[in-house]
Amino acid sequence: MSYTVFYLNPGVTEEVAAIIRGQMPEGWRLTTPTPGGDFGAGPRECDFILVADHAVTAEHIAAAPRLRMIQHQGVGYERIDLEACRARGIPVALTPEGTSIGVAEHTLLLILAVYKHLVKAANGARAGQWMQWELRGNSFELYGKRLGMVGMGRIGREVAQRALAFGANVIYYDPFVSQLEDLPVRKIDALDEFLAAADIVSLHVPASGANRHFINAETLGKMKPGALLINTSRGALVDESALVEALRAGRLAGAGLDVLEKEPATQDNPLLHFENVIITPHIAAGTRDALATKMRAAFANLLRFTRGEALQNVVPELADLNRREVVKQ
């Protein structure tokens, strides 16, 4: 049977669309927004919505009378209107597959790039400034540093494994994870003690609930002077105005951010103008390898829905909509 999947995110390139189509079941159809962002007939014709980081509003859902299910290709679903989904009986499922390795590698990339002033050094070399000696006084190695992980879930564990290979000492703060026995890492239960001990604080938790602005003026003030802040999770975890003040005051050595409170970034965001801050455009999990893995898992879940099988990774708020009814055309 044939089903139509609407990929909600505008700006998807044909190369990305080809990767998505390459993982689709035979006979299924993919529709995407036009290059200008117009959704056209996509919502009206679709049986399923596949979304990356775009908001899914009540208006989108109302415009899709045939919609049966929403599959998020990641794990951060705070921009999906769950109340509108419940009103229509539409389940929402996540795709944790394919995220962990890319984000873990990007986390290490940001740490090393800030520590080694990579952007400044590369841009300087291109401009004829050979800073062989100028950067030595403020460049550092990850070896021997204490990497503080906020969150020790799937991604946190992948980061820890890679950091240990660099010779870092890994500590973590996570009220929901006990002391790990299979990794040489140390849990610290007191947040103040954790923040004061870490040379690098790296965030690996969702942005929901009490985690919003987890990094704020108070927690920044408790961090070790000269520490780094790394965020590859969600922009809402960091109070950016407080971070700007901490950077201006010289409390931090720098920051590596793949996510911001407002995306895409605009030039009036002061974080873009610090030499010791590296910002990337929400690409930590954005690799070809990860996308193919995610699409295999996403379409496997959509197939489960059509066959009346139990879905995987339904969001907890809509767990009761995990129906086992064969979908009929």
Mean pLDDT for back-to-back runs of 10 residues, the chain (329 residues): 92 91 96 83 94 93 96 92 97 95 97 98 97 96 98 97 98 97 97 98 91 97 98 97 98 97 95 97 94 97 95 95 64
**pLDDT value of position 325:** 57
271 lies in the same domain as 296: no
**pLDDT value of position 309:** 94
- Angstrom distance (rounded) from CA 141 to CA 287: 26
Q: Does residue 249 form part of some domain?
A: yes
**pLDDT value of position 327:** 57
**pLDDT value of position 208:** 80
CATH of the domain at 45: 3.40.50.720
- Angstrom distance (rounded) from CA 246 to CA 255: 11
254 lies in the same domain as 120: yes
DSSP state of 249: T
Q: Does residue 229 form part of some domain?
A: yes
**pLDDT value of position 1:** 77
Q: Does residue 329 form part of some domain?
A: no
**pLDDT value of position 117:** 98
3-state helix, strand, coil in the chain (%, to 5): 35, 15, 45
Name the catalytic one among 60, 157, 213, 282.
Answer: 282
**pLDDT value of position 11:** 82
Q: Is 288 a catalytic residue?
A: no
68 lies in the same domain as 166: no
Q: Is 106 a catalytic residue?
A: no
118 lies in the same domain as 15: no
Structural domain of residue 29, as residue ranges?
Answer: 4-98+287-321
Q: Does residue 231 form part of some domain?
A: yes
Nearest to 23 by CA among 85, 73, 64: 73
**pLDDT value of position 293:** 96
185 lies in the same domain as 48: no
136 lies in the same domain as 256: yes
Name the catalytic one among 60, 72, 213, 234.
Answer: 234
Q: Is 234 a catalytic residue?
A: yes
**pLDDT value of position 169:** 98
**pLDDT value of position 35:** 74
**pLDDT value of position 326:** 55
Number of independent structural domains in the chain: 2
Name the catalytic one among 218, 263, 288, 324.
Answer: 263
**pLDDT value of position 324:** 57
Q: Does residue 327 form part of some domain?
A: no
**SS3 sequence, 114-132?**
HHCCHHHHHHHHHCCCCCC
Q: Does residue 154 form part of some domain?
A: yes
